Chain A
Amino acid sequence: MNAILRHLIVLPIVVPLVTGAALFFLAEARRGARIALATLSVGIQLAVAAVLLYLTSDAAPYIWPEGVGAYAIGAWPAPFGIVLVVDRLSALMLTLGAIVALATLIYSIARWDRPGQPFHSLFQFLTMGLNGAFLTGDLFNLFVFFEILLAASYGLLLRGGGALRVKLALHYIAVNLGASFLFLIGVALIYGVAGTLNMADLAGRAAALEPDDRALLDAGAAILGIAFLIKAGCWPLNFWLPGSYSIALAPVAAAFAMMTKVGFYAVLRLGTLMQEYETLGAALFYIGLATLISGTAGMLAAKHLGRLVAYSLLVSMGILFASLGLRIEALTTPVLFYLIVSVLTTCTFFMLTGMTDRTRETDPPVSSEDWEQEGEPVYVAYGIKEPSVHHEGEDIGIVIPAAIAFLGMVFVSCVLLVSGVPPLPGFLAKFALLSTILHSAVSNGTATSTWVLCAAILVSGAASIIALSRIGMRLFWGIASRRTPRLRLLEATPVAALVLLCLGLSVAADPVTQYLEHAAYSLHQPDTYIRTVLSLDTRQKSGEQ
């Protein structure tokens, strides 16, 4: 039984890989089978992630006594082969990713997955890249999973077509390709100095380096960090983000809510493992603060809800990085809590955007003719008529009543979540952040940076209320040119479920915080992680005998 449970670690990567490949062979006309297969795969991922979450907690200490499990691919011993490692943080991110994936997949079934491009396969590969990035214990393998999720995201971003979308996708691809080259240079530099790519091994060797070599290693880590910050959307490397996220189709943008968090996860993982905080901390604080401020300004300036949500995503990234940059260990728990809340919020909000866009008739969402010209880009570019099996007017599922009331309720919930007003957990997350920051500021002597950050968080919350109520009034109370959209039950259910999940999060804040405290504790004690990975060889053999 234990041997089987040990193999669970590899499932979040294998299941979407096999499903995504299998979906290519199912004819487009067999829509039911495709949907069933894709949903099954995401369901399995959620179940596996939940089991991993349980196994890494203290509730089940008999498999991984210290909450860290390692898996050697192909049974190659640790510093040479690629290892997958699950600890509390990974399990948490996996679960969060699976929840977001399940919600967006169900949402997309209602109307967004119409044929033309292999939506379901790309979606599976996106989840595979995300899961792999959270699980891997090898730097180069991290690069490969980043590329998998990016390649899938390129295809997903292009869905829907139109000149504007193709233009912004081109920018997105160019920026991310550039970032990937930086990633490679950083990885190569680190390998050239330390002679290893295994993160756990690297942490041990980095401490033993000569000062000259250490400078080179730090340079490599810094280049790597820039690549992560580009993916996480940090100022001044984030000008591509609002445009491309706001023109992506609603479920695609909702799924992308998890992607910026991969960059944050990588910084957090490598930062704690290599203990780079002393050198990177101050820089991270200012970068995060700048992101927070520019995101707030963007929110106030945004005219379209999609852009506003994209900027609110930037604000949340800014808060995360600035808090990380303060280098207060006690702050890790509230940071993780805020991360959960912000992922769920952004995902819900992007889905809502897809529904409210349909309430307008005369007021096109982004600009001019781009939204009417809804063909797949390649077909349009080459002048081929798009093969369409599924027609636009065709409705799937049950239409729910009181659509505007439902949209209004969800919108209000999202506003409460973004700005941090009780009873939703946005309040709890921001309150925990602020109280921890203030507490440490009082006990360690007041530093200016803590006050600046507190003020920035509060001001950005107030600004988000202003920006969102302005948009909300135009969306729901503006009498000119509005029509009631027809909402399918399939679209409404995941949105409502995510809002309820958020509500549940504030009710069950205590057990969640306890788990996060354990996660933060093991993050700041990287010895357990290193020991588990490097001693994997013998344990694997004894497990098989």
Chain B
Amino acid sequence: MEIVYALAIGTLAGGGVWLLLRPRTFQVLMGLTLLSYATNLFIFGMGRLALHKPPIVDAVSGTVNPSLYADPVPQALVLTAIVIGFATTALFLVVLLALRGLTGTDHVDGRES
């Protein structure tokens, strides 16, 4: 499971970096989006991958065995990171459209070549 997960993160990050370096604004936007997916998966993975472990402790059970539960902190972090990343990417989209409207081209430098 770890290998598949790591490969997925690597593919997303690699594709993201490649797109980020492309000259079209929409490609840059997609690159940033892919990078944010890779980052979010990475944060989630840092809480260790585990199956069938809830992140919330039962109120009823008396003594708590922490090995039966997943680490809730990375899940909280990833939630915050998703929200912030989404908001800033949306802002980037607005600026992208404004640049397209002002210059008439979708090149990141506002002109071809």
Query: Which residues of A are at the interface with B, using a C-beta cutoff of 8 A?
Result: 140, 144, 147, 150-151, 154, 158, 162-164, 166-167, 169-171, 173-174, 177-178, 180-181, 184-185, 187-189, 191-192, 197, 377-378, 380-383
Question: What per-residue 1/0 map shows which CB atoms of B91-106 lie under 8 Å from chain A?
Answer: 1101111111111000
Interface centre among B96, B101, B109 (most CB of A within 10 A): B101
**Alpha-carbon gap, A382 to B102, bound state (A):** 9
The secondary structure that dominates the A interface is helix
A166 and B88 contact, CB distance less than 8 A? no
The secondary structure that dominates the B interface is helix
B98 and A377 contact, CB distance less than 8 A? yes
Q: Which residue of A lies closest to B99 (CB)?
A: A166
Contacts of A185 in B (CB 8 A): 39, 42-43
Contacts of A166 in B (CB 8 A): 95, 98-99, 102, 110
A144 and B80 contact, CB distance less than 8 A? yes
**Alpha-carbon gap, A463 to B96, bound state (A):** 38
B20 and A178 contact, CB distance less than 8 A? yes
**Alpha-carbon gap, A381 to B95, bound state (A):** 10
B88 and A147 contact, CB distance less than 8 A? yes
A140 and B80 contact, CB distance less than 8 A? yes
A184 and B81 contact, CB distance less than 8 A? yes
**B69-109 residues at the A interface, CB under 8 angstroms:** 73-74, 77, 80-81, 84-85, 87-89, 91-92, 94-103, 108-109
A170 and B92 contact, CB distance less than 8 A? yes
| Contact pick for A381, options B36, B87, B97, CB 8 Å | B97
B36 and A181 contact, CB distance less than 8 A? yes
Query: Which residues of B are at the interface with A, using a C-beta cutoff of 8 A?
Result: 20, 25, 28, 32, 35-36, 38-39, 42-43, 45-48, 73-74, 77, 80-81, 84-85, 87-89, 91-92, 94-103, 108-110
Q: List 25 A-B contacts (CB under 8 A).
A: A140-B80, A150-B88, A163-B102, A163-B110, A166-B99, A166-B102, A166-B110, A167-B99, A170-B92, A170-B99, A174-B20, A177-B85, A178-B35, A181-B35, A181-B38, A184-B42, A184-B43, A187-B77, A188-B74, A188-B77, A191-B73, A192-B74, A197-B73, A377-B102, A381-B99
Q: Which residue of B lies closest to A171 (CB)?
A: B108
B39 and A184 contact, CB distance less than 8 A? yes
CB distance from A199 to the nearest CB of B (A): 15
| Contact pick for A151, options B28, B38, B43, B91, CB 8 Å | B91
Q: Which residue of A lies closest to B109 (CB)?
A: A167
A382 and B28 contact, CB distance less than 8 A? no
**Alpha-carbon gap, A166 to B110, bound state (A):** 9
CB distance from A174 to the nearest CB of B (A): 6
**Alpha-carbon gap, A523 to B48, bound state (A):** 34
**Alpha-carbon gap, A187 to B73, bound state (A):** 12
**Alpha-carbon gap, A171 to B42, bound state (A):** 25
Contacts of A187 in B (CB 8 A): 43, 77
| Contact pick for A189, options B46, B91, B108, CB 8 Å | B46
Q: Which residue of B lies closest to A382 (CB)?
A: B101
Contacts of A177 in B (CB 8 A): 32, 85, 88-89, 92
| Contact pick for A178, options B32, B80, B100, B101, CB 8 Å | B32
Given A173-B91, A181-B39, residue A147 in contact with residue B103 (CB < 8 A): no
